Structure formats: structure tokens, C-alpha cells
Chain A
Amino acid sequence: MKPKHVMVDLKGQARSFFRIKSNLFWVFAFPLLLIVIFGAIFSNMGVGTVTLKVQNLDEGAGSQELLVSLNQTGMVKLEFIDPSTDLDQYVKDNSLAHVMVIPANYSANLAANVTATVELRLDETVSTSGTVFNAVNGVVNAKNLRMAGGEVHIAIEVGSIVQKRFTFLDFFVPGIIGLTIMTTCVFNVQGTISRFRANGIFRKLATTPMTPFEWLLSRILWHLFISFLTLAVIMGFGILLYGMNMTINLAVILMIVAGSAMFSALGMIVARFVKNEETASMAANAITFPMMFLSGTFFQLELMPTYLQQVAAVLPLTYMSQGLRDAMVYDNQAGAYFNLAVVAVIGVVFVIVAVLITKWEEE
């Protein structure tokens, strides 16, 4: 092994890598797009933004007071329907799941000490209906209590059992780091080997003193660099744009090293066993695609059926993503090192296989 040969190939990669536009896309644009898109979709869920359409036919102060209280709960977002609108038609046209009507006599009844009514129409099959009912019910109860001159005898004190509140992005972003490292390493390494075999570069390299092992080592090292770049870009993005709280520690660094080497070696294995260039790229897809969706990048594993969880348990990306999450966000060092151990073992096996099967050309 001559370090000089490895350096020559590393230099070549450093010069050419970002001249290929698609590499820029996969390393930078793709992960950031995923974060922006999925961040936007999921961060709206579960945060007090159920929309409640209100048709207020009442012009008095009583209805205004009710709406202000309802708004203060933060559980619903109020939007108003013009009083002249045909409500039944409007509900149908807009497929509303919940709507509230304040009748014209609401304030008058309230002032006259006659029972005032608000009408709440709910679609019980929609999960947010419960939220709407609870919000309205709470406000109405509080008002009743106050008007009846009652006192609060039982109060609820709400506390959280988790020390930190984790958002969807806290869960999602470390997974995206793992996912991006997987796709970049597998596709790049497989693509390079298949291409170099087809266009004769390996035949040329075979006539030089460089050994296949030196070449392979250089490729693994280069993708290690790219993986750390991925980590830096995605972390920076999460911190700057979403104010996320992520830490770098030894476990994170070791996980990036192990995961990157593991996936680079996987790319080599795919390219060696599947000779045809196009078939090899399909094989790489076939291997990475299930991992994208089943390794708990987009959804928590607990939300998946048991048999899919069992599938996830044999996918290497599962451990890499979970380990990164444990180390970067959840501050769970024990979990991080367990996952690291799994990735390291798979990584070592893959790299050994890749070294053993790598040669310049088929006889």
C-alpha cells in the first residue's frame, strides 16, 4: 500500500466531484428540500391550529366576548363565514368538518338571563372534532361557572413527563443526515464503479502501479469527507433556520465514520455483483428505497405494524439514524453507542467483503 497513490486519487476526486452537477444536488439540495418540505407538513400537526369556521349572526357584545375567550385557548384558529351565507351549502362546498353558529339572539338571551345557545356541527369521524368540542365546551363551562358566581374547587396542574419537548424536526433531521449519507455513498460508489468498468478507466488503471485496494481506500476516505460535509450542511441548516438544538460528540463522529464506510462498501458490493451498469443502478435503488421508508426516517418505528418493525430491525440505516438521534438530540449516550456498535460490525463486514471482491477487471 502506497499512501501516495491514495492521495493522487483523493486529489482527483476533490477536483472533479463538485464539477458534476448531480453531486451538488444529492449532497446539498436534496436533504435541504426534504427538511423544508417535511418540516412544513409535519410541524403543523398537533400544534393548536385546528381551524374552526364561525358564522356569527349575533351583533351583541356577548358573542364577541365568547369568541375572544375561544381564541385565547389557542386550541382553535377562528375563521368567519359571512352571516348572509347559506350555511348548509357552504359546509357542503367546503367539506367542513366543524362549524359553529352563534344565533342572532345570543347576546339578547344572555342579557335577559334566558339560556343562550351556540350551535356546533361536528363531523365525529374527524379526529380534530374532539379538539373543537373540548375548546368550545371549556370556554362555555368557564363562562357558566363565572355567571353562576361559582368558585374553582378543583384545579388541574399540567406538567410534562419529558424533560425537553421534542418536535418533529428533532426526530426528522438526524434521520435525514443518515439517509443522505446512505444515498450519496451507495449511489456514488456504485455509479463510479459501474461507469469506470464500462468506459475502460479500470482497464487503464490496471496498467498503472495503483492497486485496487488503494483505489477503494481512497473512495471510502473521500465519501467520509462528503459525509461530514453532509452532517455540517444539514446541522447548520437546522440550527440556523429552525433554531434546533443538536450536539456533536464522539458518538456522532464515530457513527458518521462507521456509517459512511458501511454504505460506501455496500455500493462497491452492489457494483461488483451486478455487472451491467443500468441493472446495478436499479439494484442500488432496490436496496436503498426500502431503507428510506422503513428505517424510521420519516415516521417513528412504533407507528408501523409489527412485521414492518421486524423488517426495520435488519436494515442498517435504522441503527445509523437512531444512533444519530440518540447522540445528537436525545442525549442518550447508551443508546447511541449500542447503535454505533451495530453499524460498526456491519460496516467492518461490508468493507472486508468489498476489499476481497474488488479487482480491476474480470478475467
Chain B
Amino acid sequence: METVIEVKGLIKRYGDLNAVNGIDLDVKAGEVYSILGPNGAGKTTSVEIMECLRMKTAGEVRILGFDIEKGQKEIRKRIGVLPQSFNAFDYLTVKENIEYFGGLFDRRIATDELIEAVQLQDKRDAWFTNLSGGLKQRVGVAIAMVNDPDLIFLDEPTTGLDPKARREVWEVIRKLKSRNKTVILTTHYMEEAEVLSDHVAIMNEGRFIAMGTPREIIDQYGSGNTCVVKGANAAAVEAVRSAGMIHEAKNGDLLVRMEDKGSLIKLVGLLSGAEVNYDEVLIKGSTLEDVFLKLTGKKLAEAEQ
């Protein structure tokens, strides 16, 4: 498959601070690649260098085969960008905003087609300022597609949106993928990366700490399945403890790690003991959230502080 983005040893320094501390990245055509991490991890700085918005300090970056410094003009024509905390012109309508940005490119997609692609037909003539956050982001995606780019950067497209609006933006991103666009998505929502991406790079403090498909990362760094025993009594906790299973008792719940295939049968046996009592049992798979916790010792939300 054709390589769309090639990054080797990218470094960005602000004074003493290494915002990006030597990352490598290889993105193939047609995939959704997520860069996942807490605020301040260096995601936006990294993609803004790829979008020709910032200068790199060191390293090698090639976008669509063009060198990031020599080929700026060519790259700009061929990429689409939804910048972080995107805004268009407040007092232009959705249609007029798309026309404005379309007018700046030689190659462009018809405005109506874009409006349809992001499902904003009934907001076509509404002023941008009067749109909700989710609708504004969809306008942003439409504008990012205006020059029919092969590569689209979406920098935190769902930050600050409510869950419903977030899902609507996801739908639009899925459509991009179905149009064979390569999408670089930065996000600090684990769920978003898991649901949407072909590949994920987890970033923390300027470095990638894990890369691969969501499945690969979870398998490699996740803690496997966990059995949650809700409302477990003291006898249940004692039974699991004396059987030597890895566990954690939290808020009346007993979390038991499923270390191997036999773990589940073993736990069920323990739970049928005479004194043992519980309300409910469920099995939970590992998530990227767990991976992040395991890799950094911090929860995502904590890492942001």
C-alpha cells in the first residue's frame, strides 16, 4: 500500500521544553490513523507540523511524497485540515462558508455535495454563529474536504461535544473512510480511537508509547479480561484471595483478572462456596483506557492535570 505520511525522528522544541520528542510514524493510504493521548501530550504540535502550520526542530517528515519544508505549497493544495477548536466565519451561512474556502482551491468539490456528505442540508442557509458545537464541527469537516484532498487531518474533532453530537461526527468520519480518504485523527477519547481507527499511536509527554491496531495494542498491553463480581461479600473476597487469584476489591465490587483460559472456571467454582454471596457477575474486556493506565500509571484524566 502507498505510504501517505512518513515521519522519522520528529522533534519540536520550545525553549527547554521538548513538545515532540522524536516520533516515527508511517501512515498508509485509506486508513484512519488515530493519535491518542492526554492534553499536552504533543498530538496537536505533531499534526500541525504535518499540516505545515508549524516548523519542525529536527527530523524528517514527508507528506504525500513531498518534503514538509520544500513542498509546502503542494502539500497545502492536497490536504484537508480541521484544526483544533475550529471556527468558520460567524456571519456567513454554512453554504457561504464552504464556498469561501472552496474558492481558495483550484480543485474543488461542489458545495451541495459537501453539505450532503456532512448531512447539513437543512442548515444550509443558517449562519455559522447560530450552529451548535456538533454542527460547527461537521461544517469544519465539509470545509476540510472542499479541495477533495487525499489526506485529511481532524484535530480533536469531538472535544467539548455531547455524546450524541460526538456520534454524529463519528458517522461523518466513517463516511470519509468509505470515500477512501486517509484520515489522521487526534483525540483524547479512548473510545473514539477504538471505534474509528485502523491504527492507533498512543502519545504521552512527546513520545509514542504504543502503536498498532487497537486490537494489537489491547492484546499486548491490556490486562486481558476482568471478571467483575458485583456486591461480593467478605467470604467471596477471602475465597478469591486464598485461591491466589489476582484481584482488587473496590466499592463493594470484586475485580478478578482472567489470567488464562482456566481462570473463569476456577472463579465460578470459588463463587459457588457455601458462605459466598454476590449480586451479579460480568466479564469486561480490556480497553485502550486500561492500556494507557498500565503504560503510564495514570488515568487519562489524571494525565491531563
A residues lining the B interface (CB < 8 Å): 4-5, 7-9, 11-12, 15-16, 19-20, 199-201, 203-204, 206-210, 361, 363
Q: How far is the CB of B66 from chain A (nearest CB, A)?
A: 14
Q: Quick check: B53 and A8 within 8 Å, CB to CB?
A: no
Q: Quick check: A204 and B100 within 8 Å, CB to CB?
A: no
Q: Quick check: A19 and B143 within 8 Å, CB to CB?
A: no
Q: Quick check: B76 and A208 within 8 Å, CB to CB?
A: yes
Q: Quick check: B85 and A8 within 8 Å, CB to CB?
A: no
> What residues on A are CB-neighbors of B54 within 8 Å?
363
- Select one of B52, B55, B90 contacting A207, CB under 8 A: B52
Q: What does the 1/0 interface line of B75-112 toward A look like (CB < 8 Å)?
A: 01101010111111111100010001101110000000
- Select one of B55, B103, B104, B127 contacting A363, CB under 8 A: B55
Q: Quick check: A19 and B53 within 8 Å, CB to CB?
A: no
Q: Quick check: B105 and A207 within 8 Å, CB to CB?
A: no
Look across to chain B and name the residue whose beta carbon is closest to the beta carbon of A195.
B90
> What residues on A are CB-neighbors of B52 within 8 Å?
207
Given contacts A206-B53, A209-B73, contact A8 B104 (CB under 8 A): yes
Q: How many residues of B contact A (CB 8 A)?
A: 28
* Number of CB contacts from chain A to chain B under 8 A: 66
Judged by a CB distance under 8 angstroms, whether B31 is at the interface is no
B residues lining the A interface (CB < 8 Å): 51-55, 73, 76-77, 79, 81, 83-92, 96, 100-101, 103-105, 127, 143
Q: Quick check: B53 and A209 within 8 Å, CB to CB?
A: no
Q: Quick check: A16 and B53 within 8 Å, CB to CB?
A: no
Residue of A7, A12, A201, A204 contacting most chain B CB atoms (<10 Å): A204
Q: Quick check: A16 and B92 within 8 Å, CB to CB?
A: yes
A190 CA to B52 CA in the complex, in Å? 26
> What residues on B are CB-neighbors of A200 within 8 Å?
83-87
Look across to chain A and name the residue whose beta carbon is closest to the beta carbon of B52.
A207
Q: Quick check: A8 and B88 within 8 Å, CB to CB?
A: no
Given contacts A8-B100, A15-B92, contact A207 B53 (CB under 8 A): yes
Look across to chain A and name the residue whose beta carbon is closest to the beta carbon of B96.
A15
> What residues on A are CB-neighbors of B83 within 8 Å?
200, 203-204, 207
- Chain A: interface secondary structure? helix
> What residues on A are CB-neighbors of B79 within 8 Å?
207
Some 19 contacts from A to B, beta carbons below 8 A apart, are A5-B103, A7-B103, A8-B104, A9-B100, A12-B100, A15-B91, A15-B96, A19-B127, A199-B87, A200-B85, A200-B87, A203-B53, A204-B81, A204-B86, A207-B76, A208-B76, A209-B73, A209-B77, A209-B105
Look across to chain A and name the residue whose beta carbon is closest to the beta carbon of B85.
A200
A16 CA to B97 CA in the complex, in Å? 10
A361 CA to B96 CA in the complex, in Å? 24
A208 CA to B75 CA in the complex, in Å? 10
Q: How far is the CB of A141 from chain B (nearest CB, A)?
A: 70
A9 CA to B103 CA in the complex, in Å? 9
- Select one of B55, B89, B96, B105 contacting A201, CB under 8 A: B89
Q: What would 9 more interface pairs be, CB under 8 Å, given A12-B89, A12-B96? A: A15-B96, A16-B91, A200-B87, A203-B83, A203-B84, A204-B86, A204-B87, A207-B53, A363-B54
A209 CA to B103 CA in the complex, in Å? 10
Q: Quick check: A209 and B76 within 8 Å, CB to CB?
A: yes
Q: Quick check: A207 and B92 within 8 Å, CB to CB?
A: no
Look across to chain A and name the residue whose beta carbon is closest to the beta carbon of B102.
A8
Given contacts A204-B143, A207-B51, contact A8 B103 (CB under 8 A): yes
